[in-house]
Amino acid sequence: MTTHALDFDPTEKEANILAFLHTFAENAMRPASIIADAHEHERPQGAIEALHQLQSGGMGYRSGSAVDGTGDGSPAAKALTSILRAEELSWGAASILLSRPGPGLGGAAIQASGTPAQKEQWLKRYEDGSVRFGAMALTESNAGSDVSAIETTAVQDGDHWLLNGTKIFATNGACADVVVVWATVDKSKGKDGIRAFIVEKGTPGFSIGRLEHKMGIRASETAELVFQDCRIPRANLLGEENPSAEKKGFKGAMATFDLTRPGVAAMAVGIARAALEHTVQVLESESGGFHLGYGRSRAHLSALQDAVQAMDAQIEAARLLARRAAYLLDQKQPNALEASMAKAKAGRVVVDVCATCVELLGPAALTRAHPLEMWLRDSKVFDIFEGTGQVQRLVIARRILGYTSKELP
C-alpha cells in the first residue's frame, strides 16, 4: 500500500486566520443559526452576507475548494486549507456555512466534468464578488444513492435538450443562478445513461416547488425543483458530447463528490467538536447545575471520563481522515477511497458524539434552550447527504476487496 508524507499543521498565517474565523463563528454564526433554526425559511441574511465578505476576501470556504482558489495562494495547499476553515466555521454553524454564496455542488460538478469552455462560461461569474448561488439536483423521491433509478429524462431535440422530471433536497436550489441537473438519456443503459446538464435560472419550464421542512440544518434552504419540457441549449450537456464521453458521464459526475466529501467530513467534525467542547465546559462548571451534589462534578466519574476520551479520539480520527483526503487532492492524486472513508467516518462520529453528549448532560440538553438539542438534529444529515454512510461503507469494502458491483453473482 502506498504511503504519503503528511503535514496537516497550519502555517502561522493560517493559524491566525483560523483564530479570527473562530471568533466570527462564535459571535456571528452561532447566534444567527439558533434564531434561524426557530424560524425556518427565514434566511439569516446578515450572517450569510458577512460570510460572503470573508469568502470574497479569501478567508472563507467554498465547496469544491480544491479547485476554486480559496487557499492562501499556494497551489499545493488549497483543499487542506479550505477544510481547516470548514471545520472552524461549522463549529459555529454548519447550516449557515451550507447557505454561503458560491457555485456550490453545481460548481464542483462543472469543475470535475466540464469542458474548458463550460468552466469559463459558468464559473467565472462567481468570481466578481456578487452574491450568487449554485446548486446540484440529483436526488428524486425514488432515487437517492441508487442513481440508476433516476427518472428525470433528457431528450435531444435538434440543438436543444428537453428535461422532464422532479428533483428534491437541492441545497440552495431556490436561490441558485445555475443548477446542474442529473437525468437519463437512455434508461436501458442504467448508470451509463446518466448525464448532467447545466440549467440557468429563468429558463422556461424550470420552476421551484416546495421548500422542505427539515429536522435539522434549518438555516439552510432545501428545495424541490420541477422541470417540465425545460428546453436548454445542446451545449449545456456537461462534458464532451461523444460516445466515449457518454460512457464516462456517470463516473465523471461522481468525481464531484471526491472534491466535496472531505469538506463535508470536516463540517461534521466541526459540529462534533462543538458538542464535545460545550459538554466538557458544562461538566466542569459547578454553576451549570449538572454536578453530583456532594462537592464533586460529574467530570470526576470514571465512566464519564471514558466516554469523553472515546469521543475525543473518534473526532480526531475523523479529522485526520478528512485532512488526508484533502491532502491527496492537493497532491493531484486519486482520493476516491479516502474521501469515502472520511465521509463515512465523520458522518457516524458526529451523530454518536452529539447523542452521547445529550446523554451525559441529561434531560435539560433536549430542550430548545440548549444548543446540544439543535446540534443533535443538525448532525444526522451528515450521515446521509453526498452518499449515505451505508453506501460509503459498501463502496469502501468493495475497493479494499478489489471488486465492483458488476462482478457480483
Model pTM score = 0.88
Catalytic residues: 386
Q: What pLDDT does residue 178 have? A: 96
Q: What was the pLDDT predicted at 293?
A: 45
Per-residue confidence (pLDDT) for residue 200, from 0 to 100: 96
Residues 6+ apart with CB under 8 A from 37: 95, 218, 219, 374
- For residue range 208-252, what is the model confidence (pLDDT) as tens digits? 999 999 999 999 999 999 999 999 999 999 988 765 555 555 676
Residue 227 near residue 206 (C-beta atoms within 8 A): yes
pLDDT digit string (tens) for 333-349?
989 899 999 999 999 99
Residue 282 has pLDDT above 50, yes or no: yes
pLDDT, one tens digit per residue, over 357-384 is: 999 988 888 888 789 999 999 999 999 9
Residue 37 has what pLDDT? 92
CB under 8 Å, gap of 24 or more: what pairs does 147-151 form? 147/182, 147/191, 147/194, 147/250, 148/190, 148/191, 148/194, 150/182, 150/183, 150/184, 150/194, 151/184
Task: Map residue 39 onto helix, strand or coil.
Answer: coil
Mean pLDDT over 131-160 rounds to 89
- Return the higher-pLDDT residue of 156 and 301: 156
CA atoms of 214 and 171, how far apart (whole Å): 12
- What radius of gyration, in Å, describes the C-alpha atoms of the chain? 22
Distance CA 372, CA 357 (A): 8
Picking from 64, 104, 17, the residue whose alpha carbon sits closest to that of residue 263 is 64
Write the pLDDT tens digit of every residue in 157-175. Answer: 999 999 999 999 999 999 9
The dihedral sign for the CA sequence 332, 336, 338, 343? positive
Domain ranges of the chain: 12-102, 107-241, 254-407
User: What CATH class is the domain 107-241?
Assistant: mainly beta
Q: Which CATH number describes the domain made up of 254-407?
A: 1.20.140.10
